[in-house]
Amino acid sequence: MSKRAVILAGGKGTRLRPYTIVLPKPLMPIGEFPILEVIVKQLVANGFDHITLAVNHQAEIIKAFFMDGQKWGIRIDYSLEDQPLGTMGPLKQISDLPETFLVMNGDILTNLDYSDFYEKHTQSGKIFTISSHVREQLVDYGVLDTENGNLLGLREKPRMNYEVSMGVYMMSRVALDFIPADTAYGFDQLMLNLVAAQESVAVRRFAGYWLDIGRPDDYMTAIDIFEKDSTVFLT
C-alpha cells in the first residue's frame, strides 16, 4: 500500500536565530545530517513512498537539497506557499492527497514508529490522530496556592507534567473540509473546530524519545543525544 506524508517545512525558525539566518530550520544539522534528512530517512525505512514538502521561507534551498528524492529512494515533491498559511492551511493547496496521510513538522527528532502510527489510525476510522508526549516542565519560581487572597501553600520550583502534541498527525481526507482555502489556519483552530463539530479525534501517547528543535536549548540537546547514539533514530 502506498503511504503518503506531508512535511511542514515553511517556517522561518525565528526562535533559532541567529542559526536560521543562513539556513532554513529544517536544514539545521543534527550530527552529520540536516534534521529534515533524518525525518526523510525514517519515513523511507517505515515504508513511505511519497513525501510532499510544504515550503515557503528559503524554499529554493530546501528544493536544491532534496530535489526529487531519488537519492533516498522516495518521491519528493513540493507545495509552495505564496503567503504564510499556518500549520494546517498548506494542506488545502495539495490537491492529490489520498484518503489517509501523515502530516508532521519538519523539525522533530523522535524514534516514533511512523508505520505503526499510520496503521493504527487507518484501523481506527477516526478523522484525525495526534501523537502526544508527556513533557516535564520545571517552573523556576515559587508557586503560590491561594484562595480569596490568602496563602494556602507554597510549591518551590515544582515540576509539572503536560501532555503535548508532538507535531505528528494522521489525517483522513475528510478533515480537509474543515480547512479554509487561502487562509492562515493553525492546528489549534482545526482541533477546536473538530471538537465543536463533535468529530472524534484520537490521541496516541508516545513514551519514546521526542524533541522539537525549535528552541536553542532543545536544539543543542538534540545534537548531543543524536551524536551519542544515532542508531536510536536511524537503523
Show the cell assigned to 111.
524514534
Three-state secondary-structure class, residue 187? helix
- Tell me: the pLDDT tens digits for 148-205? 999 999 999 888 899 999 999 999 999 999 999 999 999 999 999 999 999 999 999 9
Domains of the chain: 4-133+162-232 (3.90.550.10)
Other Cβ atoms within 10 Å of 45 Cβ, number: 12
Q: Cβ(141)–Cβ(45) under 8 Å?
A: no
pTM of the model: 0.90
> Of 15, 14, 10, 13, which Cα lies nearest the Cα of 59?
10
